[in-house]
Structure 1
Amino acid sequence: MERAPVASINLAIVGVGKIVRDQHLPAVAADGDFRLVAAASRNGRVEGIDNFDSIGTMLAAVPSIDAVSLCMPPQYRYAAAVQAIDAGKHVFLEKPPGATLSEVEDLAARAAAQGVSLFASWHSRYAPAVEAARAFLAGTRIQRMRVTWKEDVRQWHPNQDWIWQPGGLGVFDPGINALSIVTRILPRPVFATAATLEFPANRQAPIAASIRFSDAGGLDLAAEFDWRQTGRQSWDIEASTDAGTMLLAEGGATLSVDGRVVHSEPEQEYPMLYRRFAGLVRSGASDVDLAPLRHVADAFMLGQRQVVDPFDD
C-alpha cells in the first residue's frame, strides 16, 4: 500500500509526561515540517490543541492526523502502536521502542504491510559528537573500550514506579542510551559474553548492571551502569586505540583524543530526531534498529542476579 506525500505533517503525541514537556514539545514547535494537532494522555494535557484520554478516541475524532509520537512507558506502547498503524498513521517510538524484541518486530512488519513509516528513535545517537567518534574509530584499531553510565535515579526518574516494573528496564532505561551509541560508533557488531544485574530486594528491575562484550576479533569491551550515583553524573565512553585514547563524554556531547577536545557542539538530539522522522515520513521509509534493545535482552538472559539493599524514592 502506497501513501501520497503530505505537505505538512499533522502530528499527535500520546503520553504527555516529563520527556514530552522537556524535549518533544520544544522540538516539534521549532520544526516547520510538523504541526501539532492533538494529544492523548491519561493525566497530561497540552495547551492550545485538542486533548483526549486515549489514542483510540483521538484517532476517531481527528482523522487529519498523519503521524503519532508514542511516549508512554514501553509496557503500553505496542497496543497504541497497533492502533495507530492500523489507522494508517506513521509512528515515532520513544526509546526503548517496546517492552520486548518480538513486539517491535511485529510492529515493523505491520508498518511495512500498511505502507507507513515506523521510527525506533535512539536520541543519544544524535548527540553532537557521536558521528565524529564513529569516524575516528573507523580509522584505527580499537584495543579496548570502557562504558561508564552512572546517574541518580532520584533526579531523573522521581516517583516513576513503571520503570521498576517488569518491562520498565530499570537502570537499562538510561543504559540503553549508551548501548545505542556503542552500536552506532563501533565498526563491527558486538555481543554480550557475561553480565551481572543488581536488583533491589523490593524491585523487579535492576538498579545496576555490569556487562562484558566482545566481537569476532576479540574486542575487550566492558560497560558499567548504575542508578545510585550522586554528585557528578557519568555518561562516558572511553576507547584505547592505536591513534590514542578517545573519550566520548557527557552523553556524546564532547569528543576528546589524548585529552584534547576535537569535537563539541550544543545538544540538539530531539530536533534531529524529528528531522529524521520527517524524512522517513516523506520518503515512506522506516528506521527500526533493534541492536540496543537486543543487547539489553541478552544481558537479562546471561546475567547473574544479585539482590541488593531495597530502594525507595
Structure 2
Amino acid sequence: MSINLALIGYGAAGKQHVEAINSTEEVNLIGVFEQDKTKRIDNYKSYSSWQDVLDDPKVDAIAFCVQPQFKTKMAIEAMKKGKSILLEKPPCLSEKELDELIEYSNIYNKVIGVMLQHRYQLPKEVFDIEWGPETIATLEVSRPREMKRYFRSWRENPNSAGGGITTHIGIHYIDIASILLGKPVSFLFEGIRNYQYGLDIRTAGIIKFSNGSVLTLAVTAEAKKRNERIIIYDRDNV
C-alpha cells in the first residue's frame, strides 16, 4: 500500500524531497503547492491554495519545505484534517512548538517525521556497534558560506530562520552522532560567533549522552575548506 503525499514548497529543499520520493515505491507524490506562482512545478499537479491541499481526500500525508516560522501552524491544521506530517528540519522554532506538535500528533493519532537525510549515508555495519560509557567522540563540520549570500531572505531574520549554521547544517551531523551514541542529556556550547544575534556562523561545544559517552563538536561556516567527519573511540573500536 502506497502513501499519497502532497509537497508544500518547491524550492531547493522541496526538489530534494521530490528526488527522495521518486526513489521509493511506497510513496506517491500527487501534487505540489508553491506560493510563488513564477516557479515551474515540472509535471506535477499544482494546487492553487493551501486550503485545496487540506481539502483533498486523496492526500494521506504532507511534506513541508517552508520557512520554519510557518511549519507548526500548518502542521497542526493538516493533522486536524487527518494528514500525517513530514517536516524539513528544523521542524519548529522552540521547545514549546515541539511540545505542541507532539500533543496534536497524539490527539489526532497522526505520524510526524523530520527530514534528516544525511543519517542514511552511514554504512550499515556502523549501526551494529554498541558504544559504551567509555566512548569519546569528536565531530567536525566545515561548510564554507558566503555570508551575505547565505543569510538573505528568511535566513537573515532569527525569528524566521530559527538559527544559523549549526541549526541548518550542523544539526545533520549531530543527528548522526545521536543515532550512534544515544539520547543527548546535556549540551554546552561555547565559542559561538554570530553573523548577527541569533544567527551563528561558528559553534564549539560538548554533548553528553545517556550511555555516558561524550562528544566534542566544532561547526563553522568561516573556513575555506569543506569537511565533515565524526571519529568515535572506545576500548575496541574506532
Counterpart residue number, 1:182: 177
Distance 1:181 1:144 in 2: 15
TM-score, structure 2 normalization? 0.85
TM-aligned CA deviation for residue 33 of structure 1: 1.9
Superposed CA offset, 1:99-148 (max 9, x none): 1122122112212211222112322222232x533433x15664421110
Superposed CA offset, 1:67-126 (max 9, x none): 110111222111111121111111111112111122122112212211222112322222
**Among 74, 77, 80, the residue aligned to 2:74:** 80
Question: Can you give the 5+ residue segments of structure 1 that lack an aligned partner in the other structure?
Answer: 1-6, 247-313
Q: For 2:158, what is the secondary structure of its paired residue?
A: coil
Counterpart residue number, 1:34: 27
Distance 2:109 2:214 in 1: 42
Counterpart residue number, 1:195: 190
TM-score, structure 1 normalization? 0.66
Matches within 5 A, 1:9-24: 9-21=3-15, 23-24=16-17
Matches within 5 A, 1:60-79: 60=55, 62-79=56-73
Distance 1:220 1:108 in 2: 28
- Asked if structure 1 preserves the Cα contact closer than 8 Å seen for 2:131 and 2:180, the reply is no
Counterpart residue number, 1:253: none
Distance 2:42 2:203 in 1: 40
Matches within 5 A, 1:53-202: 54-60=49-55, 62-129=56-123, 131-136=124-129, 138=130, 142-154=134-146, 158=150, 160-167=152-159, 168=161, 169-172=163-166, 173-187=168-182, 189-200=184-195, 202=196
Distance 1:203 1:139 in 2: 37
Distance 1:192 1:115 in 2: 31
**Among 47, 59, 82, the residue aligned to 2:42:** 47
Q: Which residue identity lines up with residue 223 of structure 1 in the other structure?
A: L
- Asked if structure 2 preserves the Cα contact closer than 8 Å seen for 1:12 and 1:39, the reply is yes
TM-aligned CA deviation for residue 192 of structure 1: 1.3
**Among 195, 200, 209, the residue aligned to 2:203:** 209
Structure 1 68/241 Cα, relative in aligned 2: closer, same or farther at 3 Å? same
Q: How many pairs are equivalent?
A: 232
Distance 1:92 1:85 in 2: 11
Q: For 2:215, what is the secondary structure of its paired residue?
A: strand
- Asked if structure 2 preserves the Cα contact closer than 8 Å seen for 1:56 and 1:83, the reply is no
Distance 2:32 2:152 in 1: 21
TM-aligned CA deviation for residue 218 of structure 1: 6.1
2:234 paired with 1:241: yes
TM-aligned CA deviation for residue 193 of structure 1: 3.3
The worse-fitting range, judged by mean Cα deviation, of 80-89 and 48-57 is 48-57
